[in-house]
Amino acid sequence: MDPGIAFGQVLRELRKEAGLSQEQLAFEAGIERNFVSLIERGVNQPTIRVIFKLSAALQILPSKMLKLVEEKILHAHL
């Protein structure tokens, strides 16, 4: 699985678990709503700075977020 696609899927799952819309997450993270959509669809990939902003908005450590992405990629290969 492509890491960008995996990150987008994890981001969408975490956002929904937090009960946030794309617009709410974007506001909390200080980024554009359209960019959240593009990340979730795997079209764009976030910078390290954006990963930190998103994880702060979701109240999760960036390392935990990336661990979830890593697990998704590894499970896709099994």
Query: pLDDT digits over 3-55, tens only?
Result: 999 999 999 999 999 999 999 999 999 999 999 999 999 999 999 999 999 99
Q: Give how far the C-alpha of residue 65 lies from the chain's centroid of Cα atoms, to the nearest Å.
A: 7
Of the pLDDT bands very low, low, confident and very high (cuts 50, 70, 90), residue 76 is: confident
pLDDT at 49: 98
pTM reported for the whole predicted model: 0.94
**d(C-alpha 45, C-alpha 42), whole Å:** 7
pLDDT at 77: 76
Do residues 40 and 11 make contact, with C-beta atoms less than 8 angstroms apart?
yes
- C-alpha distances (whole Å) from 55 to each of 15, 28, 50, 77 are 10, 10, 8, 26
Rounded to 10 degrees, what is the CA torsion of 26, 32, 35, 37?
A: 50
